[in-house]
């Protein structure tokens, strides 16, 4: 076979491989046409991490990470960790493949997709490993030059036991920080702390049974309004998950208050509820 034929065969093979990869990515991450303002809590515990959330149109997913050697392994407890479940393999690489194949994470999403990374141990070591891994994907992740945000297809927000001072000191950083309502009105930049995440049970006694008390409803709306006026988004965790009617009642109140991310462990149930509300 001549050298020209060899080159042609290689080019045809590469082209066919590119088509196959594109079709695989399209099938794996096939999505609903409408993005849903929803967050997949402890997404790694789903049967199909990331994949199911994207298929249901979720705009945010959460992964708990632990530093082990030079990797960030994903799991709620240290005893849950496995070498085949790393942040890089489970989230960073699939998101990079997705954006490379179709140019976006979710159709119709007008803001970056959110990856919430919850630090479980060793804050400084975890952050340095995460920073190194994010920088290996140029163009994929939102980054910040001091107070100026350069939006990418994916924004990473760190939560849990993270080193806020170390992060804030960086001239160029690839993460923002999860905050609390206590950060609202303090002058802390919304580019550093763009999100307030709070425990539902720390603020409200209502568990989705009957009508939400009027004073608690007013407080919910007040907290969300103040955060939004300060340029920050809002998420609650620990809301009732069972029975089903209780979680639906809470989702309704959260949506009415314009909470940015409705949290769920049962992703399909939230998607179905969202479709009925629309």
Mark whether 74 and 199 lie in a shared domain.
yes
The residues near 129 (Cβ < 8 Å, ≥ 6 apart) are 67, 70, 71, 72
Predicted confidence at residue 23, as pLDDT, reads 40
Q: In 69-175, where do the E strands start and end?
A: 71-74, 113-119, 143-145, 148-150, 154-160, 172-173
Predicted confidence at residue 65, as pLDDT, reads 98
Mark whether 250 and 182 lie in a shared domain.
yes
Mark whether 39 and 124 lie in a shared domain.
yes
Nearest-angstrom CA–CA distance, 60 and 175: 15
Helices (H), the chain: 3-28, 51-55, 87, 93-102, 123-135, 164-169, 200-203, 214-229, 244-256, 267-277
Predicted confidence at residue 30, as pLDDT, reads 52
Predicted confidence at residue 276, as pLDDT, reads 86
Number of H helices, E strands in the chain: 10, 12
The residues near 76 (Cβ < 8 Å, ≥ 6 apart) are 42, 44, 45, 64
Give me the domain span that covers residue 99.
Answer: 33-277
Nearest-angstrom CA–CA distance, 102 and 104: 6
Mark whether 146 and 244 lie in a shared domain.
yes
Beta strand 58-68 with 71-74 is antiparallel
Asked if 39 and 235 count as a contact pair (C-beta separation under 8 A), the reply is yes
Q: Measure the N-to-C terminal CA separation of the chain; round to a whole number of Å.
A: 61
Mark whether 47 and 7 lie in a shared domain.
no
Mark whether 15 and 100 lie in a shared domain.
no
* Beta-bridge partner residues of 144: 149, 173
Q: pLDDT tens-digit profile of 131-149?
A: 999 999 999 999 999 789 9
Predicted confidence at residue 9, as pLDDT, reads 45
Mark whether 249 and 160 lie in a shared domain.
yes
Predicted confidence at residue 3, as pLDDT, reads 58
DSSP state for residue 105 in the 8-state scheme: S
Predicted confidence at residue 33, as pLDDT, reads 43
Mark whether 13 and 146 lie in a shared domain.
no
Domain count, the chain: 2
Predicted confidence at residue 49, as pLDDT, reads 97
Determine how many CB atoms are found less than 10 A away from the CB of residue 255. 14
Mark whether 159 and 247 lie in a shared domain.
yes
Residues of the chain with pLDDT below 50 are 6-11, 13-29, 32-33
Mark whether 20 and 118 lie in a shared domain.
no
Mark whether 72 and 23 lie in a shared domain.
no
Mark whether 17 and 137 lie in a shared domain.
no
Q: Which residue has the tokens 């920080």?
A: 177
Residue 112 sits in a domain whose CATH number is 3.20.20.190
Predicted confidence at residue 15, as pLDDT, reads 47
Nearest to 98 by CA among 3, 31, 45: 31
């Amino acid at each position: 076979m001549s050298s020209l034929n060899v080159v042609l065969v290689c080019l045809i093979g590469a082209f066919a491989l590119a088509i196959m990869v594109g079709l695989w990515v399209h099938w794996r991450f096939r999505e609903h046409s409408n993005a849903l303002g929803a967050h997949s809590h402890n997404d790694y515990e789903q049967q199909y991490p990331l994949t199911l959330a994207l298929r249901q149109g979720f705009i945010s997913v959460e992964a708990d990470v632990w530093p082990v050697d030079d990797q960030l392994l994903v799991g709620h407890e240290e005893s849950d960790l496995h070498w085949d479940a790393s942040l890089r393999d489970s989230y960073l690489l699939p998101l990079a493949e997705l954006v490379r194949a179709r140019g976006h994470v979710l159709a119709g999403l007008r803001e970056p997709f959110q990856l919430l990374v919850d630090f479980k141990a060793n804050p400084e070591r975890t952050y340095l490993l995460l920073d190194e891994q994010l920088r290996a994907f140029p163009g994929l992740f939102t980054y910040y030059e001091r107070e100026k945000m350069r939006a990418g297809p994916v924004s990473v927000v760190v939560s849990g036991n993270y080193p806020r001072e170390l992060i804030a000191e960086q001239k160029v950083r690839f993460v923002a920080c999860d905050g609390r309502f206590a950060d609202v009105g303090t002058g802390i930049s919304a580019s550093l702390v763009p999100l307030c995440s709070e425990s539902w049970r720390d603020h409200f006694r209502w568990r989705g049974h009957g009508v939400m008390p009027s004073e608690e409803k007013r407080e919910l709306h007040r907290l969300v309004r103040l955060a939004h006026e300060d340029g920050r988004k809002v998420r609650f965790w620990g809301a009732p998950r069972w029975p089903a009617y209780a979680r639906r009642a809470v989702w309704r109140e959260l949506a009415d208050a314009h909470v940015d991310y409705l949290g769920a462990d049962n992703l399909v149930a939230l998607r179905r509820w969202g479709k009925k509300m629309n």
